[in-house]
Amino acid sequence: MTAISEEQDRSRDPYPSRLPEERFLPRKDKIVWSQWRPDAPLTAQQADRFDRDGFLILNDVFSAAEVEALKAESAALRGGERPLMEGSVITEPGSDEVRTVFKLPEQSPLFDRLARDRRLAGIASFLLGDDVYVHQSRLNYKPGFTGKEFYWHSDFETWHAEDGMPRMRAVSASLLLTDNDALNGPLMLMPGSHKHFVACVGATPQDNHKSSLKKQEVGVPSHAALARLAEAHGITAATGKAGTLVFFDCNTMHGSNGNITPFSRSNAFFVFNAVSNRLEEPFAAPKARPDFLAERGKPAAIEIANGKLA
């Protein structure tokens, strides 16, 4: 008997995408991978809510001093007073305002400590039932007046197709660094959408990330599919004051509007992936994206720390 080659295995990909036709497919992976226990970093009710909605909003997780320190660090990374890694900065479409800075733990000791903190990595590790590492990290600034939208998408769709993330066993933690309200383009999520995989239309172009990080056009569902999901599940805005922490599943449909108010909206994102789910070759792209977007190889498990950031 011959072993099943990777290619044959891949023909049974449960999440095919970038196809000639759009398809709704059922999720084949768990959402909360740990059994709840009294020493878990979330209450049983919070874990159930994450399982049901595909996201969870946590208030008052950080002290005022910690929030101030994180805001100052975010401003310093953006302000140009610190040299940043080649390729880690993305500007807004049509202007040279900073839209995104990637690779936060690598460029900031404070953001490194934040990622390892029990309030982020500890919760992620509980939700994913495994040791975790940071798959991607970014500051999204969405400046006042010029900050453009992030169109509706499932992150997992991109990470599976373009980065080779095998299964839905990753979670994003988004820390609000400005107040996010109805006006300045908060994250919007469709509760319950994480239970469907929308296989998207269209082959992935060469170097798609060069345009998709400014404006994503491939790997997004059709208007009809988005309307169907929104009618079934509704849309929730993840609003809150600076310091609010939002966890969302890798397959929750989300996006955000542009920001024409004078008030910038910035959030720090850390994507945690289970160490058992590390990246393979892309499932639907000509070649893997650069490592500022996706940690490849065999990343070490985070050692979770318990302490104050400031």
Can you say how many angstroms the Cα of residue 6 is from the centroid of all Cα atoms in its chain?
Answer: 27
Q: Among residues 41 and 185, whose Cβ is nearest to ligand 6CS?
A: 185
Task: Give the sign of the dihedral formed by CA 215, CA 220, CA 222, CA 227.
Answer: negative
Choose one: 37-45, 81-89, 151-159, 241-249; the region binding ligand 6CS (CB under 6 A). Answer: 151-159
Give the H or E element holding residue 34: none
Sites for Fe ion among residues 118-157 (CB under 5 A): 155
DSSP secondary structure, 51-73, as one string: HHHSEEEE-S-S-HHHHHHHHHH
Q: Among residues 110 and 246, whose Cβ is nearest to ligand 6CS?
A: 246
Choose one: 85-93, 152-160, 189-197, 227-235; the region binding ligand 6CS (CB under 6 A). Answer: 152-160
Beta-carbon contacts of residue 210 (< 8 Å; ≥ 6 apart): none
Q: Among residues 46 and 194, whose Cβ is nearest to ligand 6CS?
A: 194
> Which residue, among 117, 126, 287, 94, has the nearest Cα to 208 in the 3D structure?
287
Among 53, 130, 155, 249, binds ligand 6CS (CB under 6 A): 155
Q: Minimum distance between the CB of residue 212 and ligand 6CS, rounded to whole angstroms?
A: 5
Judge residue 259's burial from the number of C-beta atoms within 10 Å of its C-beta, 0-12 exposed, 13-18 middle, 19 or more buried: buried
Can you say how many angstroms the Cα of residue 10 is from the centroid of all Cα atoms in its chain?
Answer: 24
Sites for ligand 6CS among residues 200-219 (CB under 6 A): 212-213, 216
Q: Among residues 78 and 153, whose Cβ is nearest to ligand 6CS?
A: 153
Residues that bind ligand 6CS (CB under 6 A): 136, 150, 153, 155, 158, 212-213, 216, 293
